[in-house]
Amino acid sequence: MRVMTRTYTILVFISYLFFGDVFARSIPPLFPASWATFSETQKFKAALDKIPKGDWISRIKPSTASLQTEESSKIKRYLEYLGILKERLNNVNDALEEFQKTYNLPVTGKLDNDTIKLIKRPRCGVTDVINVTSTMPTSFNWSWPEGKKQFNYTFIPKNNVDKSLKLKDAFSSAFSRWAKVTGLSFTETSSFNQSDILIVFLGWDENEVVAGSDLLGSVRKSGRRAMYFNVKENWVVPTADNGTVMADDELDIETVAMHQIGHMVGFRHTTTEEAAVMFPFMERGQRKLEFATDESESIQQAFRSVYNTTSNGGAAGGVGPGWVGLGIALLLSFCF
């Protein structure tokens, strides 16, 4: 695995050197962090290992008949990973029905076209269901210290993210959108020890999980959480300068960052509204940067309950060291 990851990184780096213009909006080669970086990365890897490997998803064909043994086993492992196949739903067809109900698909209990189409899409690695009796659309769980509003985030040095300002800008923009709707403040820091949120690029075998986060309530003793991205994905940062029309194999890093930040601040998946940022399945070649109307209202309501505030998007928040306030103070000092 280590040799394959190293070979991949070298090949991407060489391609970037010789075909830089082709990668106008692709991020520079990133070096995957070690799975042993901290205990949470190892837990995330253990979870990913439960998903069937290989291109089994691409080979799935629609079927109205009972699933074959091998196919049933892989679908079963996939649904177990999502949290849908538990003790109450130990029959794979019953679990498929639950999956279809959860995502507003026709309820057949079979691997029909609509179900396969959704399963084949890239998705977040955070599970959809907390227990076997209910799905948890748009649920909110604030597990940070009470009253905390300011957050520092950092990139793992091993990833070599400092070489890509546009990648940093994409994350900054995603944090800004969350700051506006929640009233929280997010600032990038170079200090690993002073960070609340770690952004980690890891390398894992291809499957439909492209990113993930520490589960809610799992703030480690240091007080930090981490979100993870697969370094092997074809991440891009579309802009007005390099073209916002994306190819079918490209995945917008800002779209996925928006989703993972939602987990960082306490939200689980929304399974009822595909337009929502917190919908767990994504589309290659598409961008989704704006909150759905109902989603934005529910986020603001959740944070009003946390801080007991009433404002458009919560208390004043933002990204960075508050330059606007500083500028106003300087202007007033010159005037008076």
pLDDT at position 320 is 55
Q: Is 94 annotated as a binding residue?
A: no
Contact 268, 138 (CB under 8 A): yes
pLDDT at position 276 is 92
Write the burial class of residue 227 (CB in 10 Å: 0-12 exposed, 13-18 middle, 19+ buried): buried
pLDDT at position 325 is 37
Q: How many CA atoms lie within 13 A of 216 on its CB side?
A: 20
Which strand ranges, in their side-by-side order, compose the sheet holding 225-230?
A: 123-124, 209-213, 225-230, 197-202, 150-155, 185-188, 318-319
Write the burial class of residue 154 (CB in 10 Å: 0-12 exposed, 13-18 middle, 19+ buried): buried
Q: Supply 297's token pair.
A: 């209202």
User: Collapsing DSSP states into helix, strand and coil, what is residue 226?
Assistant: strand
Closest to 279 in 3D by CA, of 138, 115, 131, 98: 138
**pLDDT > 50? residue 137:** no
User: Collapsing DSSP states into helix, strand and coil, what is residue 136?
Assistant: coil
pLDDT at position 66 is 58
**pLDDT > 90? residue 323:** no
Percent of residues, the chain, with pLDDT higher than 90: 25
Closest to 29 in 3D by CA, of 12, 52, 14, 15: 12
pLDDT at position 185 is 96
Q: Is 278 annotated as a binding residue?
A: yes
Q: Supply 133's token pair.
A: 């009796």
| Res. 57 pLDDT band, cuts 50 70 90 | confident
pLDDT at position 1 is 44
To the nearest 10°, report the CA torsion of 56, 62, 68, 73: 40
| Res. 68 pLDDT band, cuts 50 70 90 | low
Contact 90, 76 (CB under 8 A): no
Q: How far apart are CA 319 and CA 197, in angstroms?
A: 14
pLDDT at position 197 is 94
Can you tell me the mean pLDDT for 285-300? 90
Q: How far apart are CA 286 and CA 233, in angstroms?
A: 14
Q: How far apart are CA 154 and CA 63, in angstroms?
A: 46
Can you tell me the mean pLDDT for 134-158? 79
Closest to 192 in 3D by CA, of 37, 34, 18: 37
What domains are there in the chain, each with its CATH number?
61-119 (1.10.101), 139-319 (3.40.390.10)
Q: Is 128 annotated as a binding residue?
A: no
Q: Is 213 annotated as a binding residue?
A: yes
Average the pLDDT over each of 26-30, 122-126, 197-201 and give the range with the smallest value: 26-30
Helix (H) or strand (E) holding 4: helix 2-18
Q: Is 263 annotated as a binding residue?
A: yes
Strands 185-188 and 150-155: parallel
Contact 277, 292 (CB under 8 A): yes
- Radius of gyration (C-alpha) of the chain in whole angstroms: 21
